Structure 1
Amino acid sequence: MSRWADLPKELLEMISKRLDFRVDVLRFRSVCNSWRCSVSPPSFDHEIPPLFLKLPDPISADAVLMQTAICRMEYPCNYPNSSCSLSKSSLVKVGESKHGKLQLCHPLLNQETKNSFISFNFLDLKFVKLSEACLLKWPSGISIFGINKVVKFPLSESCKNNCELGILAIYHEGKLGYWKHGDKEWTLLDDRNFEYDDIIVYKGQFYVVDRWGTVSWIDSSLKVIQYSPPLYGCGGQKNLVESCGDLYVVDRYLDGERRTWRDYEDVMGGNDNSLRLSKLMRKPGPMAVDFRVYKLDEEWGTWVDIKSLDDRIFILGIDCSFSVSCRNLNGGKGNCIYFLYDSLRVGNGMGGGAVHVFRFEDRSIDNLAEIPGFSEIFWPANVGSST
Structure 2
Amino acid sequence: MANWSELPNDVLEYLTNFLPLPDYHRFGAVCQTWCSIAKQKLHRPPHLPWLVLGHDNATQKRTFFNLSENKNYDIEIPELQGQYICGCSYGWLFTIDTELNCHLLNPLTRKQYDLPTVPPYNEYYKTNPFLTEPMENCTKSVELRMLLVFKAVLDYDPSDRPDFKVVIVYGQSSKLAFWRSGDPKWSYIQGYYSNMEDVLFSNGKLYAFTSLQDQGLCVVDDWSDPKITQLSISIPLECDDNVACCPYLVDVKGELLLVQRYRSYNKEKKLRTTVDIQVHKIDIGREVSSICKHTKGCTIFLGKSSPVVVDPSISHSDRKNAIYFTDVCCALSASKHERVDLGIYDMNTRMFSRYDPPHIDTPDAVPIWFNPNPW
User: Normalization by structure 1: what TM-score?
Assistant: 0.51
1:253 Cα deviation from its structure 2 partner:
1.7
Give per-residue Cα distances to partners, 1:237-276, cap 9 Å, x unaligned. 210111112111111223249xxxxxxxxxxxxxxxxxxx
1:255 maps to what in 2? Answer: 264
2:280 match: secondary structure:
strand
Query: Could you say which residue in structure 1 is the equivalent of 2:174?
Result: 175
Residue 50 of structure 2 corresponds to: 92
2-side partners of 1:255 and 1:315: how far apart?
20
User: How far does residue 106 in structure 1 lie from its aligned partner after superposition?
Assistant: 3.8
Alignment of 1:1-80 (within 5 A): none
Correspondence 1:363 to 2:354: no
What is the CA-CA distance between 1:289 and the residue it aligns to? 1.3
Distance 1:142 1:360, change over 3 A: same
Mark the CA change 1:234 to 1:117 in structure 2 (over 3 Å): closer, same or farther. same
The verdict on how the C-alpha distance between 1:113 and 1:286 changes in structure 2, with shifts beyond 3 A counting, is same
CA distance in 2, matches of 1:314, 1:303: 19
Residue among 128, 139, 149 paired with 2:151: 149
Structure 2: how far apart are the matches of 1:73 and 1:115?
24
Counterpart selection for 1:246 from 255, 261, 272: 255
For residue 349 of structure 2, give the secondary structure of its aligned residue in structure 1.
Answer: coil
| Alignment correspondent of 2:217 | 214
1:229 to 209, 226, 233: 233
Amino acid at match of 1:237: C
Report the counterpart of residue 75 of structure 2 in structure 1.
116
1:172-222 CA-to-partner distances (Å, cap 9, x unmatched) read: 465223254544xx6553565532111112123222112315242353022
Contact 2:191 2:227 in 1 (8 A): no
1:295 maps to which residue? 281
Structure 1: gaps (5+ residues): 7-22, 42-71, 75-88, 95-102, 119-129, 258-282, 370-380
Distance 2:45 2:141 in 1: 25
Q: Go from structure 1 to structure 2 and tell me whether the alpha carbon gap of 1:228 and 1:334 turns closer, same or farther (over 3 Å shift).
A: farther
Alignment: residue pair count: 255
Shift of 1:355: 2.1
Structure 1 Cα separation of the partners of residues 340 and 191 of structure 2 = 32
Range with greater deviation from structure 2 (245-254 or 224-233): 224-233
CA distance, structure 2, for counterparts of residue 385 and residue 336 of structure 1: 26
Find the aligned partners of 2:318 and 2:36 in 1 and give their Cα distance. 38
| Aligned AA (1:92) | W
Specify the code of the residue in structure 1 equivalent to 2:302: L
Equivalent position SS for 1:309? coil
Distance in 1 of aligned mates of 2:96 and 2:35: 38
**What secondary structure sits across from 2:313 in the alignment?**
helix
1:260-271 pair list within 5 angstroms: none
**Counterparts in 2 of 1:240 and 1:316: CA distance versus 1, 3 Å:** same
- Residues in 2 aligned to 1:107 and 1:215: alpha-carbon distance in whole angstroms: 35
Which amino acid is the alignment partner of residue 207 of structure 1?
Y
How big is each residue's C-alpha offset from its partner over 1:103-152, in whole Å with a ceiling of 9 and x where there is no partner?
A: 883489xxx9425369xxxxxxxxxxx94454233258968221211134
Q: Name which of 303, 319, 342 aligns with 2:305.
A: 319
Where does residue 265 of structure 1 map in the other structure?
Answer: none
**Matched position secondary structure for 2:146:** coil
3-state secondary structure, aligned to 1:214: strand
Secondary structure of the 1:145 match is: helix
Corresponding letter in the other structure for 2:303: G
Report the 3-state secondary structure (helix = DSSP H, G, I; strand = E; otherwise coil) of the residue aligned with 1:327: helix
Q: Conserved in 1, the CA contact under 8 Å of 2:345 and 2:351?
A: yes
Cα 1:189/1:284, change in 2 over 3 Å:
farther
Q: 1:168 to 1:38 in 2, by over 3 A?
A: closer
Quick one: distance in 1 between partners of 2:227 and 2:353?
41
CA distance in 1, matches of 2:354, 2:309: 20
**Percent sequence identity over aligned pairs:** 17
Distance 1:223 1:367 in 2: 41
Amino acid at match of 1:138: D
CA distance in 1, matches of 2:281, 2:290: 5
1:252–1:291 contact (8 Å) kept in structure 2 = yes
Following the alignment from structure 1 to structure 2, what is the Cα–Cα distance between the partners of residues 40 and 304?
41
Superposed displacement of residue 337, structure 1? 0.9
- The one-letter amino acid of 1:239's match is Y
User: Does the CA-based 8 Å contact 2:259-2:280 persist in structure 1?
Assistant: yes
Please state how far the C-alpha of 1:233 moved relative to its aligned partner. Answer: 3.5
CA distance in 2 between counterparts of 1:333 and 1:152 reads 27
Aligned to 2:131: none
Seen in structure 2, the aligned counterparts of structure 1 residues 286 and 165 have a Cα distance that, compared at 3 Å, is same
